[in-house]
């Protein structure tokens, strides 16, 4: 059942306690509660996602980020690689976590991304071939709402039909579609058409897929959590924060963490609840390391300066933060059929909303870009400057181009007039690393978030190469007489040095933080969890969320999180089903 008050919980001991009802936590809750012999409590800091229309409408995803009641309104430290700019760093704080507030783009990552996970953990269970059946199990692909013929737009054999997470292809045509696709014929060497970026080989230009179906967002909450709430053995407590993992006992010098401390506000009563089997930490790549550190699991030198007693000396906690830098670039175009008027014309926006409400069709069913390209650096590129290739392999991209038929920016307001297209460029296999540290030992203080964007020169050079690639794309024959010119500072950035400065001025986050409690082998001291996701040096505590990735996949992260959470659920079930 769903609870909003700690005092109303029917018991104080469950078999499992899941911290965070986000993307991964919801999967764990669903799969474990399918076993009637288990009892599960999920604790979520945020509230319910029910009946929030902006959350259900794919096109309006971006508007949720200004709703402070649904997000962790984080910002970064001044970013040294970005001219000391502080940038927004929101996460979902609501049932479904970030899957309830994200942009719905559905990308699994590549075969090489997961095979690298298997290699660095020494556990073949993380390979693409092992996880692929679980990816299919998670997915329930549905035809796009406009019922257009999708032959040639995806690879049907790479998709599950019966899983909980609805996925689909664009359900409303864009005037830009023919032009983008023609690029793959005009310059197939540079922009090869890829039938499906989700079949293991991501490289090329593809139709975007999204985590929606029948016009509506499919989140971890709608897909996994709400259906599981029908199970009598699952309790979900919302509006409640886990403030500490409690050292419940110690056996042979190994501390156990089978209890958690809860609070509903900073000064509120603290309540302890316990798990007879395991605590599963799924608070996401920012809050998971924060909670570990608050609980005395981290680097002992850093913890002692904060007055926190070290219970497990684990140097990797909060280090190794990885994320994709995002740069939104716009060009003015010779067209009147861009989407720019939606944000300018309230009557138009209202009519699209009414159409969505009445029929779940129209522009609002889509995510704002019908195609994207995942590309590798040209073989003769010098962008890496002698650094080893940071990508996982040939099926993984160095850069991403996301193409939208409107002015898109996360910094500049949209101009009052004119028609625009945008190409969002991203560094998909970044070398820069950052960290999560504590500002204080108070659980309600925000942690210090430093993604370290563009601190490695090769990431800057790859971003510049991505800008050249975007320019190359819109310089192919299909775009001639359509593109009028670059918008804003891009127009004056005519050298690589100027493009690098333009990138440092414009980069924000793709909202893909991960790797802050990475998995690894027993002799990797910087690995926080082993390949079964159990916290090293502790007992009774497992981590299942984007923190455990050893490397950031060259992908948007929700589908990789679903994949690892599905496997984690199997590992947990297997560990406890006999006892």
Ligand X SMILES: Cc1cc2nc3c(=O)[nH]c(=O)nc-3n(C[C@H](O)[C@H](O)[C@H](O)COP(=O)(O)OP(=O)(O)OC[C@H]3O[C@@H](n4cnc5c(N)ncnc54)[C@H](O)[C@@H]3O)c2cc1C
CB of 343 to ligand X, least distance (A): 18
Question: At its nearest, how many Å lie between ligand X and the CB of residue 455?
Answer: 21
Cα gap 181→188, rounded to integer Å: 10
Q: Which is closer to ligand X, CB of 222 or CB of 287?
A: 287
The least distance separating ligand X from the CB of residue 437, rounded to whole angstroms, comes to 16
Neighbours of 175 (CB within 10 A): 14
**Closer CB to ligand X, 236 or 383, in the complex:** 236
In angstroms, the CA 452 to CA 131 distance is 30
How far, in Å, are 37, 254, 382, 420 from residue 407 at the CA level?
A: 53, 55, 31, 5
Q: Is the dihedral of CA 503, 509, 514, 516 positive or negative?
A: positive
Which sign does the torsion angle of CA 483, 488, 493, 497 carry? negative
Q: Which is nearer to ligand X, 136 or 283 (CB)?
A: 283
Our CB check for ligand X shows the closer of 456 and 556 to be 556
Q: Which is nearer to ligand X, 99 or 432 (CB)?
A: 99
CB of 290 to ligand X, least distance (A): 7
CA dist 250 → 255, 273, 318 (Å): 4, 17, 24
Q: How far is the CB of 390 from ligand X (least distance, A)?
A: 19
**Rounded to the nearest whole angstrom, what is the least distance from the CB of residue 294 to ligand X in the complex?**
9
Burial code (b: 16+ CB inside 10 Å, e: under 16) for 115-124 equals bbbbebbebe
- Of 495, 506, 515, 501, the C-alpha closest to 557 is 515
Q: What is the dihedral of CA 303, 308, 310, 316, to 10 degrees?
A: -30
Q: Phi/psi of residue 291, each to 5°?
A: -65, -40
Angle at 566 between CA 560 and CA 567, to 5 degrees: 95
| Runs of H (alpha helix) within 225-362 | 226-228, 284-294, 300-305, 341-344, 346-359
Report the residue number, 281 or 500, with the smaller CB distance to ligand X: 281
Nearest approach in angstroms of CB 296 to ligand X is 15
Structure letter (DSSP) for residue 490: G
Between 32 and 561, CB nearer to ligand X:
561
* Residue 30: Cβ within 10 Å count: 25
Paired sense of beta strands 483-486 and 448-450, if any: unpaired
Q: Which is nearer to ligand X, 297 or 377 (CB)?
A: 297
Nearer to ligand X, 23 or 33 (CB): 23
What torsion do the CA atoms of 272, 530, 288, 97 make, to the nearest 10 degrees? -100
Q: Minimum distance from CB of 220 to ligand X (Å)?
A: 7
Residue 553 to residue 518: CA distance in whole angstroms: 13
SS3 content of the chain, % helix, strand, coil (to 5): 30, 20, 45
Enter the tokens of residue 419. Answer: 């028609």
Q: Which two tokens stand for residue 508?
A: 């924000």
Give the footprint of ligand X on this chain (CB under 6 A): 19-25, 43-46, 65, 90-93, 97-99, 101-105, 241-242, 282-285, 287, 291, 511-512, 545-546, 556-559, 561
The torsion region of residue 66 among left (phi > 0), alpha (psi -120 to 50) and beta comes to alpha
In the complex, least distance from residue 126 CB atom to ligand X, rounded to whole angstroms: 16
The distance of closest approach from Cβ of residue 19 to ligand X in the complex, given in angstroms and rounded to an integer, is 5
Cβ 274 to ligand X shortest distance, Å: 16
Least Å distance, CB 579 to ligand X, is 27
Strand pairing report for 2-3 and 234-237: parallel
490 versus 569: smaller Cβ distance to ligand X? 569
Task: Please answer whether residues 516 and 289 qualify as being in contact, where contact means their C-beta atoms are separated by less than 8 angstroms.
Answer: yes
Residue closer to ligand X, measured from CB, 255 or 368: 368
What does the alpha-carbon distance between residue 74 and residue 76 come to, in Å, rounded to a whole number? 7
Q: How far is the CB of 347 from ligand X (least distance, A)?
A: 28
CB-nearest residue to ligand X: 22
Q: What minimum distance in Å lies between the beta carbon of 55 and ligand X?
A: 12
Q: How does DSSP classify residue 493?
A: -
Show the tokens assigned to 284.
């996401």
Which element (helix H / strand E) includes 567? helix 558-576
Task: Scan for tokens 């924000």, then name that residue.
Answer: 508
**Given the complex with ligand X, which of 227 and 457 has the nearer CB atom?**
227
**Helix/strand number for the chain, H first, E second:** 14, 27
Q: Which is nearer to ligand X, 487 or 510 (CB)?
A: 510
Distance, CA of 136 to CA of 164 (rounded, Å): 10
Nearer to ligand X, 298 or 478 (CB): 298
């Amino acid at each position: 059942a769903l609870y909003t008050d700690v005092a109303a919980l029917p018991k104080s001991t469950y078999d499992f306690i899941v911290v965070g009802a986000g993307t991964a936590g919801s999967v764990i809750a669903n799969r474990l509660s399918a076993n009637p012999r288990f009892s599960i409590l999920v604790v979520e800091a945020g509230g319910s996602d029910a009946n929030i229309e902006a959350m259900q409408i794919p096109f309006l995803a971006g508007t949720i980020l200004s709703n402070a009641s649904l997000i962790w309104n984080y910002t970064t430290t001044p970013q040294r690689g970005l001219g000391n700019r502080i940038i927004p760093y929101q996460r979902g704080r609501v049932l479904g976590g970030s899957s309830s507030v994200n942009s719905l783009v559905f990308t699994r990552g590549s075969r090489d991304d997961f095979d690298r996970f298997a290699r660095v953990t020494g556990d073949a269970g993380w390979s693409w071939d092992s996880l692929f059946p679980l990816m299919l199990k998670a997915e329930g692909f549905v035809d796009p709402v406009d019922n257009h013929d999708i032959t040639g737009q995806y690879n049907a054999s790479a998709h599950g039909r019966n899983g909980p997470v609805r996925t689909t292809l664009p359900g409303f045509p864009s005037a830009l579609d023919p032009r983008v696709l023609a690029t793959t014929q005009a310059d197939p060497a540079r922009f090869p058409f890829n039938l499906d970026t989700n079949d293991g080989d991501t490289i090329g230009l593809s139709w975007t897929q999204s985590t929606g179906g029948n016009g509506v967002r499919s989140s971890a909450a709608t897909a996994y959590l709400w259906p599981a709430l029908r199970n009598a053995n699952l309790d979900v407590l919302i509006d409640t924060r886990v403030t500490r993992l409690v050292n419940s006992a110690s056996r042979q010098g190994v501390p156990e963490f089978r209890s958690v401390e809860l609070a509903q506000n900073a000064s509120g009563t603290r309540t302890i609840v316990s798990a007879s089997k395991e605590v599963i930490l799924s608070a996401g790549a920012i809050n998971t390391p924060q909670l570990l550190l608050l609980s005395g699991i981290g680097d002992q030198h850093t913890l002692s300066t904060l007055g926190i007693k070290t219970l497990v000396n684990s140097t990797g906690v909060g280090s190794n933060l990885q994320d994709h830098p995002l740069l939104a670039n716009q060009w003015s175009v010779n067209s009147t059929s861009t989407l720019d008027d939606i944000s300018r014309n309230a009557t138009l926006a209202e009519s699209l909303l009414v159409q969505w409400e009445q029929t779940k069709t129209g522009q609002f069913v889509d995510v704002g870009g019908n195609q994207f390209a995942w590309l590798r650096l040209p073989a003769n590129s010098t962008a890496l400057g002698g650094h080893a290739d940071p990508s996982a392999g040939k099926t993984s991209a160095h850069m991403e181009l996301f193409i939208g038929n409107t002015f898109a920016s996360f910094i500049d307001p949209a101009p009052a007039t004119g028609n625009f297209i945008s190409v969002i460029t991203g560094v998909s296999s970044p070398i820069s690393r950052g960290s999560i540290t504590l500002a204080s030992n108070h659980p309600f203080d925000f942690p210090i978030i430093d993604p370290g964007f563009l601190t490695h020169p090769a990431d800057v050079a790859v971003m510049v190469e991505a800008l050249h690639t975007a320019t190359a794309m819109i310089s192919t024959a299909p775009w001639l007489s359509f593109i009028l010119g670059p918008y804003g500072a891009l127009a004056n950035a005519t050298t690589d040095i100027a493009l690098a400065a333009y990138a440092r001025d414009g980069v924000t986050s793709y909202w893909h933080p991960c790797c802050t409690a990475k998995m690894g082998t027993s002799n990797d001291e910087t690995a926080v969890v082993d390949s079964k996701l159990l916290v090293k040096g502790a007992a009774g505590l497992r981590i299942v969320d984007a923190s455990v990735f050893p490397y950031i996949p060259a992908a948007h992260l929700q589908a990789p999180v679903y994949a690892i959470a599905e496997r984690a659920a199997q590992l947990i079930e297997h560990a406890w089903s006999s006892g």
